Structure 1
């Protein structure tokens, strides 16, 4: 399997997945070791543990359940997707976009490289990733010559129209703190942070240590909603820092995105990452 392959071989959703494993003795504040744990279950578990620590109640679904209409979005005000939700079906993207843009749903995206590649479901237990011979380091174009931002863009549309941002290669496999751009935004309430201050300096991420902005990072693009606000930006090399963004929809929907796989690795050990996330959850839950 290589990134230059047009279409990955079918994968079974029933296959063993030893990387998505939390050891019985593991603690929330333990460093996240290894190549896979930093962007899979171990990082997701930190967020779940943080919510329980902070007193937030939640229901938990797999992404696959969204495709198979198991998630009753109309019964919820807030949906959180986190860490590394890279492979989504077009149906999933369209359902979520409708919920936010038309039904007034509130989306919190605490991850990086999200919704970047179409996952095609062959049936209820097999899936194909439509990689589309994508270059992760060079510019990609449609047959018409139009620049394309992602594999999802090539097959459907840019995810920036929903998430407010899209993955780009600069910043990949680096990590850094965020710098505050708009300290007057309500997400920074009770943090004491001012313009130019840093947050997300603490992280459990051992594969790419250095801060809450990292591993893979998303940024605002020309396909982001016109009213997208840039609130903070990671200080990763090559202008590759993740963007913290916020926008509202005419239906009353709201989107808050952090654009970084490393965010969850900071949430239980970095006071400001914790406070910002709590501010958003509380605001969206009103």
Structure 2
């Protein structure tokens, strides 16, 4: 085997004892004996994290660009790339002048959180226009010229990367991209939700022109859902300094996964859509953050993978909610536009099912996940444990009714009794006040297929923050997550 079953003991402090105290091999956590570090091949991501790291964004924050003055902003020509392939960066600088692009890999790196991979030569940038919105769809397609082309070095490990644009005046902005590993199948593949990142992107957030799949602007500068875009393009910067909405939830999960030496590689939702990533290559797929916008191709690939025995972990909430279409840019470059009309009529429905909710298509997300979106959490609430004797909660020390503070946050999922769902176990029942009014019930859920695949849904956007955000970390959530991922990845066997 090529490391598919390899994992390392987490050493989490749970119930008064650390995992490391259980001995060199813990049948719950898995691991490689610490006294034999060279006996088994070291996966690329673990090896990468042995390098010295540096924060990818200065601790002082630099001078973050904004959407009104647009001091420096840019976007990438693709959402993912393999080593040896090229990626272009399109950057606007206002006023024109010198700038550089530094590229950083997000990871653990002994707590630094990133490593600087390289920096471009000094480049010259000029202002670029904000395009007019397409009158039919609202799409904003920048078509800025290429500022710098990067041939991705063959030695780069798969991961989530940030390209940081820094002007001579110290202004900064960034854009994310993923480096895939198309050759080596890891135990787990982290799928980054780029379609959802783009759906929320309001660039430019200027109270005039900017559009997302949620809002446009009225003449008085107020956001108005009636003026939202029906399609959004990757050929534009992310709003402000370039961080996508909910990016921090993915980043927290990645730091935790790499800190705990999981054998992972990385892809995007568009890789799943296009078939570049085949779920059958992995023991499990991990959807870390807010993964709301799914094409039919994404869902089909995931369900086929599940039927074949590939496990799924959804560590966020409100997943697989909107049905989307993905199409090429006007110049023919593939996978540059995400369409989601949300209401009927859908101008593009002639090319497939209308882009409404999956529930409207009689394919509710609960049929896949076991739970589904049921509200926005007004204020963070405790996750209330249920089925404490289930293997997901093993080693956490919890009992039914225990309350884990602040984990139910952002958005939440729950059970819908009238809709089909797979037989499984409800792991939490947590009342919360909903922004929509009243009180609702959050639920986490797990089920297993006849092929032995696991499907876990945390049912809250607060789960990944409890893994690695300072002030939010909780060892019970860490241990439960480890139990799920170790079950997905399969038992460790020496020599694998």
Gap regions ≥5 residues in structure 1: 23-35, 134-149, 202-210
In the alignment, which residue of structure 1 is the partner of 2:69?
none
Against the structure 1 CA distance between its residues 20 and 163, is the aligned structure 2 distance closer, same or farther, given a 3 Å change threshold?
farther
Cα RMSD (Å): 2.4
Residue in 2 aligned with 1:183? 388
1:7–1:131 CA contact under 8 A, matched in 2 = no
2:446 to 241, 246, 259: 246
Distance change in 2, residues 1:19/1:78 (3 Å): farther
Judging by fraction of residues, say which structure has more helix.
1
Match of 1:14 in 2: 235
The partner residue of 1:217 within 412, 417, 422 is 412
Segments of 5+ residues of structure 2 without an aligned counterpart are 1-213, 216-223, 329-334, 345-355, 491-496
* CA drift at 1:106: 0.7
Q: CA deviation at 1:72?
A: 1.9
Deviation string 1:87-142 (CA, Å, 9 cap, x unpaired) is 11012112212221x21111111111111001111222111113126xxxxxxxxx
Quote the Cα distance in structure 2 between the aligned partners of 1:19 and 1:114. Answer: 25
- Where has structure 1 moved over 6 Å in runs of 4 or more? none
Alpha-carbon distance between aligned partners in 2 of 1:20 and 1:254, rounded to the nearest angstrom: 38
Q: Deviations over 1:225-247 (max 9, x none)?
A: 34121111223134424211111
Match of 2:481 in 1: 277
Quote the residue 1:69 is aligned against: 275
Tell me if structure 2 keeps the 8 A contact 1:89–1:119: yes
Maintained 8 Å contact 1:21/1:42 = no
| Residue correspondences, number | 244
Match of 1:127 in 2: 338
SS in 1 for 2:476: helix
The secondary structure found in structure 2 opposite 1:111 is: coil
Q: Within 1, Cα distance between the matches of 2:241 and 2:268?
A: 13
Displacement of 1:271: 1.2
Higher strand share: 2
What is the alpha-carbon distance in structure 2 between the residues aligned to residue 195 and residue 219 of structure 1? 18
- Counterparts of 1:271 and 1:20, CA distance in 2: 33
Which position in structure 1 is the counterpart of 2:318? Answer: 113
Task: Flag the 1:230–1:130 CA change in 2: closer, same or farther, 3 A.
Answer: same
TM-score of the aligned structures, taking structure 2 as reference length: 0.46
Match of 1:26 in 2: none
Whether 1:172 and 2:377 are equivalent positions in the alignment is yes
Matched, 1:163 2:369: yes
Does structure 2 conserve the Cα–Cα contact (< 8 Å) formed by 1:6 and 1:131? no
Residue 275 and residue 216 in structure 1: after superposition, are their counterparts in 2 closer, same or farther (change >3 A)? same
Give the conservation status (yes or no) of the 8 Å contact 1:21–1:41.
no
Larger Rg: 2
Q: With CA pairs under 8 Å and 6+ residues apart, which has the higher RCO, 1 or 2?
A: 1
Given candidates 252, 267, 272, the residue that maps to 2:467 is 267
CA contact under 8 A between 1:245 and 1:257: conserved in structure 2? yes
Q: Which residue of 2 aligns with 1:153?
A: 359
Secondary structure in 2 matching 1:153: coil
